[in-house]
Structure 1
Amino acid sequence: MTKGEGGSDPQVSDGMNMQRYLGNKGLVGFIALMNMLIPLSIDMYLPALPGMNAYFGSSSAITNLTLSAFFLFYAVGILFWGPLSDKYGRKKILLVGGIVYLLSSIACALSFNIYFLIAARIFQGIGSGGITSVSIAIIKDCFAGKKRGAILAISQSVSGLAPMLAPVVGGIILRFTNWQGTFWALAAIAAINLVLIFLFEETLKEEDKYTGTVMGSLGRLLIVGKNKSFMIPAGIFSLCALPFMGYIAVSSYIYVDYFGLSAQEYSYFFAANALVSICGPFLYVRVFMVLNKKVFAASMLGISAISGILVMTIGTLTPILFWASFALMSLSVSITRPFSTALLLDQHVSDTGAVSSLINTMFTVLGSVGMSVVTLMPGNIITVLGVLIAVFSVIPFIGWIAFMKSSIPCKGV
């Protein structure tokens, strides 16, 4: 067996004790900040999207490529960097990803046309992919069992502050400058994150590193991909990203263009939805973690389907009713996220970087598809979003029931 291919899964490794500079709480905060970079990279400039069309003289479909292209290449970055972190260690990959993200954020702010901005966003996505994939791997390096689920919930809740605050901050920035100011703000955050990366101590033990070739480390993705106990639930829960990210792509158009709100008013509704998402992981730890996992997951998917029906009906009437209708899906998805991530990490003991990559890549790719579909589909934009939510809640619901009735083992359920 190649070194790093096997290994144990202790309840808590000594990864936290190695953090001489960050400390235990600092490590959790660092993980949360890394997970905040993605929603910050997306949500902070959402209020500026309608104005960017006029600035660049482009259509909504072209301008939205700055979202979907970022998300697609973010997935590519995750897939590439995760397995390499099993070979070279978490810190080295974080440094490369952090530097790429910082430089590309500056390039976004200096963009002179929409196509240059799209290209800069591609590199920003690749850099952020390295950061995200490693952040999940660090959690598995340092925690296991219920402790891992609790840390996932904490980091996801704290990182949920980003989508709540980002559009509000973005709206405030637009009052004093244009869309470029949001990318300068992202560059500043990236610089802070880079400092923390330098302070971070490696959590992957030498004996657990993959010692084969670079191509061999990337090939571990195939090994993980053959694990049905991992891939089937990963596909089921990743489908929920399709309508959720579709909402991210069109939310500003719904509130600003459809309902006639200002960019600042839109940011408040978006922040209110993010606040609901923050509560989800805490509710999971406090209330739902002790429930039967089979019934819990099915119930959350059922609530999400109801949300889709409400969005396409009463959600078209007022911005408050739209928010309330979609908030049901936000809550169900955020409650399920720490459960599904912890469940998937348990299905494959070794190759943590590759496992983390596939979890995030599937979520990201389907999310990118959702962004494109909801933008390009004809008809009432809210109705299209509602249909998307309902369909891609029912399909995972059926898939989960079938998986639970199958003979394929699933650790932890």
Structure 2
Amino acid sequence: MNNPKNASNDSTSKQKYLGDRGLLVFLVFLSAFAPLSTDLYLPALPTMTTYFNVPGYLTNLTLILFFIFFSVGMLIWGPLSDKFGRRPVLLVGVTGYAIAGLLCAVSGNIYQLIFFRVLQAIGGSSASAVATAIVKDVYLERKREKTLAIVQSMVIIVPAVAPVIGALLLTLTSWRGIFIIQGLLGIIILLGSIAFQETIEKRGSGSILRTLGRLGVVLKNPAFTSLLFIFSLSSISGLAFISSSSYIYQNDFGVSSQIYSYFFAFNALAMMLGPLIYIKLSNHFKRFSIINLCFGITILSGLAILLFGQSNPFIFALALFPATLASSCARPPSAYLMLDQQTEDAGSASSLMGSFATIMGSLGMIIISFNMDNLILIIGSLNIILGLLSGGLWLVVTKTPLLSKIREA
């Protein structure tokens, strides 16, 4: 059974203006910056391509380059937040995001839009880099793990509803209006950042180059790096499905875009329920056992996809559901365990976690693009292979003296 330490669940720093609930909502919005910045304007991509009269690949660069620079930005903002504090980094980054969003709205050509999207990515990445670090600053032990689960569960709602909201907004405004809304959202988060009170207790010292070098120090921690690699692998299959889902349902199964959105929402439901189920299970079982179970379910789900997934869209959705549920269920304990390996440099650790997940997800998009004729087989195979690889590495690593205590945690 799980016996958490009797550590205090109170935050290390009281939030005078935000309060406990306000801080939780604030963390959800910080963690949701990426989907808010991408999924919200996805329905406008064809309109933008027509408006600028450019090839589709140029418009898609506004999405691809956003992810690349978002990932790079996290690696910069995280260490800087360890040196200068979470609040200053948020104030600078979110201000840049809001301004860049408004500049996107007034872009005169596609190249200006691409450039302003890069600036938007760099600014917005500050929020994602700092969000998990704040959780480590503020919450202790069991409360930290529950907060991670709640935040991650709520964040999943955003990519599920953002495209729907974006499509609705297009009936009321143009693509420029969507970027204005993104800029206004940035201003709202900026107001929250102003109200936010600093949570880091001990700041780093030394030059900025030395501060950025803390990323290397964190990566030299074998306990952190091994867990980082193991748990980032799940992003490959997750993003592979998301990037190919419309092709699977609309091209392979022949459903309409409206019906596709229902199937996508069903999968998003699994992502949302996973962290909540973990909270319930962790009251009775050890983290080690739950993570083992998640890897096992992922493998079995992959087998079900291979054997039955091509028959019809309903069976495919049902076969995929357990893998998605298991992946999201493993996120809170994996994030907790990775953060627990670092007594300092929480910002650097947080940024590496976010960046690695983005990089692995991008790899999944690349893999799926190599063979668009057998998407369902690839999705099933990825879940089996990655489930076996991650699960095997997990069992090996947790037998080493370095992480053997995880079995009792």
**TM-score, normalising length from structure 1?**
0.88
How far apart, in 1, do the equivalents of 2:101 and 2:238 lie? 25
8 Å contact 1:347–1:411 — kept in the other structure? no
Q: CA deviation at 1:70?
A: 2.1
Q: How does 1:34-53 map to 2 (within 5 A)?
A: 34-48=30-44
Matched, 1:25 2:21: yes
Matched, 1:217 2:211: yes
Name the CA shift for 1:179/1:392 in 2 (closer, same or farther; >3 Å).
farther
Q: How does 1:3-402 map to 2 (within 5 A)?
A: 11=7, 17-48=13-44, 64-111=60-107, 114-177=110-173, 179-205=175-201, 208-402=202-396
Deviation digits for residues 357-383 of structure 1, max 9, x if unmatched? 111111111112222332344433333
Deviation digits for residues 213-258 of structure 1, max 9, x if unmatched? 1111111111111111111011000010112122222333333444
How far apart, in 1, do the equivalents of 2:179 and 2:395 lie? 43
Name the CA shift for 1:388/1:108 in 2 (closer, same or farther; >3 Å).
farther
8 Å contact 1:301–1:396 — kept in the other structure? yes
Q: CA deviation at 1:335?
A: 0.6
8 Å contact 2:218–2:224 — kept in the other structure? yes
In terms of mean alpha carbon deviation, does 328-337 or 367-376 score higher? 367-376
SS in 1 for 2:309: helix
Structure 1: any 5+ residue segments left out of the alignment? Answer: 1-8
Name the CA shift for 1:15/1:408 in 2 (closer, same or farther; >3 Å).
closer
1:5 maps to none
How far apart, in 2, do the equivalents of 1:176 and 1:315 lie? 38
Q: CA deviation at 1:131?
A: 0.5
**TM-score, normalising length from structure 2?**
0.88
How far apart, in 2, do the equivalents of 1:188 and 1:402 lie? 48
How far apart, in 1, do the equivalents of 2:307 and 2:52 lie? 35
8 Å contact 2:43–2:166 — kept in the other structure? yes
SS in 2 for 1:149: helix
8 Å contact 2:274–2:328 — kept in the other structure? yes
Deviation digits for residues 322-379 of structure 1, max 9, x if unmatched? 3223222221111100110001111111111111111111111111222233234443
Paired residue type of 1:275:
L
Q: How many residues were matched structurally?
A: 403
How far apart, in 2, do the equivalents of 1:307 and 1:86 lie? 40
How far apart, in 2, do the equivalents of 1:353 and 1:222 lie? 13
Name the CA shift for 1:107/1:11 in 2 (closer, same or farther; >3 Å).
farther
Name the CA shift for 1:377/1:105 in 2 (closer, same or farther; >3 Å).
farther
1:6 maps to none
In terms of mean alpha carbon deviation, does 173-182 or 360-369 score higher? 173-182
Paired residue type of 2:354:
N
8 Å contact 1:164–1:272 — kept in the other structure? no
Paired residue type of 2:187:
A
In terms of mean alpha carbon deviation, does 348-357 or 165-174 score higher? 165-174
The percent identity for this pair of structures is: 38
How far apart, in 1, do the equivalents of 2:139 and 2:198 lie? 15
Name the CA shift for 1:172/1:115 in 2 (closer, same or farther; >3 Å).
same
Q: CA deviation at 1:60?
A: 6.5
Deviation digits for residues 246-292 of structure 1, max 9, x if unmatched? 22223333334444444444333322222221111111011245323
2:402 maps to 408
Name the CA shift for 1:359/1:288 in 2 (closer, same or farther; >3 Å).
same
Name the CA shift for 1:301/1:24 in 2 (closer, same or farther; >3 Å).
same
Paired residue type of 1:318:
N
SS in 2 for 1:405: coil
Name the CA shift for 1:248/1:181 in 2 (closer, same or farther; >3 Å).
farther
Paired residue type of 2:23:
L
In terms of mean alpha carbon deviation, does 25-34 or 394-403 score higher? 394-403
Paired residue type of 1:233:
L
In terms of mean alpha carbon deviation, does 250-259 or 146-155 score higher? 250-259
